[in-house]
């Protein structure tokens, strides 16, 4: 069964991944510097927003050009990554920061492990369902973060 819904080639997919990577590289450092000046919370919220928008943009794409736009959104997910990672390590004593980052990635990896199985099951309903579900969960996460994390803990 062909799961290539839109019908792009492997070369086109490579271009999309490159677009996403270049977008990430362009925004990463400037966003980090601005976040340190004005506060991290807005950048983390924007990152969560782009995490939620990316799967929705992919599922709404109708061709290669709309996928390019979707992958630019995917690259913009990195806009708040430096701020988010700084928030994680700021809560640890300096001598434990490396361990804190490792613990964070361990906990994140363990918590997302079931997502591949769940995504596969949702795909069986319709290829759009895992994308929409991811977008909805992303919006919920963004709203929870925005409502519960005070700026003083985000800066």
Q: List, for residues 4-30, the tens digit of each pLDDT value.
A: 567 889 999 999 999 999 999 999 999
Inter-residue contact 139 to 52 (CB < 8 Å):
yes
CATH hierarchy code of domain 10-154: 1.20.1250.20
Inter-residue contact 67 to 61 (CB < 8 Å):
yes
Tokens of 17: 């991944």
Rounded to whole angstroms, the Cα distance separating 89 from 104 reads: 9
Inter-residue contact 85 to 105 (CB < 8 Å):
no
pLDDT for res 86: 86
pLDDT for res 2: 47
The predicted model scores a pTM of: 0.85
pLDDT for res 153: 64
pLDDT in tens, 78-132: 999 888 888 888 888 889 988 988 998 999 899 999 999 999 999 999 999 999 9
Rounded to whole angstroms, the Cα distance separating 112 from 117 reads: 10
């Amino acid at each position: 069964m062909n799961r290539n819904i839109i019908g792009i080639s492997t070369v086109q997919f490579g271009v999309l991944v490159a677009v996403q990577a270049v977008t990430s590289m362009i925004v990463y450092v400037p966003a980090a510097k601005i976040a340190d000046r004005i506060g991290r919370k807005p950048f983390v919220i924007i990152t969560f927003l782009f995490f939620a928008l990316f799967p929705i943009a992919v599922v709404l794409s109708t061709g290669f050009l709309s996928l390019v736009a979707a992958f630019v959104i995917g690259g913009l997910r990195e806009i708040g990554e430096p701020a988010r990672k700084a928030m994680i390590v700021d809560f640890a004593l300096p001598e434990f920061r490396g361990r804190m980052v490792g613990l964070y990635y361990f906990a994140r990896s363990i918590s997302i492990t079931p997502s591949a199985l769940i995504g596969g099951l949702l795909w069986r309903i319709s290829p759009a369902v895992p994308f929409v579900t991811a977008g909805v969960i992303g919006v919920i996460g963004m709203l929870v973060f925005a409502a519960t994390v005070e700026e003083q803990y985000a800066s």
